[in-house]
Amino acid sequence: MAAEGKVDPMHQFSIHPLFGSDSWNIGGYNIAFTNSSLWMAIATVLLIVFVAGGAKRQLVPGRWQMAVETFTGFIDGMLAANVGPNGKKYVPYIFSLFMFILFANFLGLLPLGVFGLHAFTFTSHFSATGVLSILSFSIVIIVGLAKHKLHFFSLFVPHGTPVPMIPAIFVVELISFLVRPFSLGLRLFVAMMAGHVLLEVLSSFVISSGNASLGLFAIAGLPSFILMIGICALELLVAGIQAYVFALLTCVYLNDAENLH
């Protein structure tokens, strides 16, 4: 957003209510439907449409069905490599998680908005990525306790630990375990936010130099514009990589719960 001829790189992350929903309250709590909620809903609808369109079991699969089966096979292979045969039952969840984050990241890079609203990357907010990581982490804990009962806590005491060291090692391992959801959500949030801020800063160079003079635009604006194009391509790659990393680490954590020794 331009303010007094300047571009505010943080304005793109502002959350504001839509459709006059700022006055919606239940039990004293505001339940406004925000721009973040809208893009979450769009990502969810796209995921449902993507899966539904590829669910047709045709003898000769079309491109849509092949795309869904390719992603499903990719997730199945990831779980097989990290969790083993027991990982197959988690394919629906990891697939949904991966595709939801992937759609969210790509939607945030759209140059055009929807319903007159600018594209919004809700994965650039820790409140969104944190909920996804806590959800995954909760599943890991539930699976671990359901399958191994109290033996699950042996995860915090590595095999061969000397008896006098067990209390200290247990505390260190427990803290390390509890930090996992924080680091999982923080990694996605920081990666998406940093890229968008950098693009906004470069765009301010282009706008400011163009408004100043042709010579300044040639010196600062044009190189910034060329760099923006390269970073946009890099952001597409980062969007996919971050969705993959989030899904992969969730698989690794599930392995700890499933294959505890």
What pLDDT tens digit does each residue of the chain (261 aa) get? Answer: 444 456 677 777 788 888 776 667 777 777 778 888 888 999 999 999 999 887 777 777 788 888 898 999 999 999 999 998 888 999 999 999 999 999 999 998 887 666 666 788 899 999 899 999 999 999 999 998 998 888 888 888 878 788 888 889 889 988 988 898 899 999 999 999 888 888 877 777 777 776 777 776 677 677 777 887 888 888 889 999 999 999 999 999 998 888 776
CB 198 within 8 A of CB 231: yes
121 forms bridges with which residues in the sheet? none
3 forms bridges with which residues in the sheet? 6
User: Which two three-digit tokens encode residue 232?
Assistant: 């946009």
Sign, CA dihedral 139-145-151-157, equals: positive
What whole-number distance in Å separates Cα of residue 130 and Cα of residue 189? 9
| Full-model pTM | 0.86
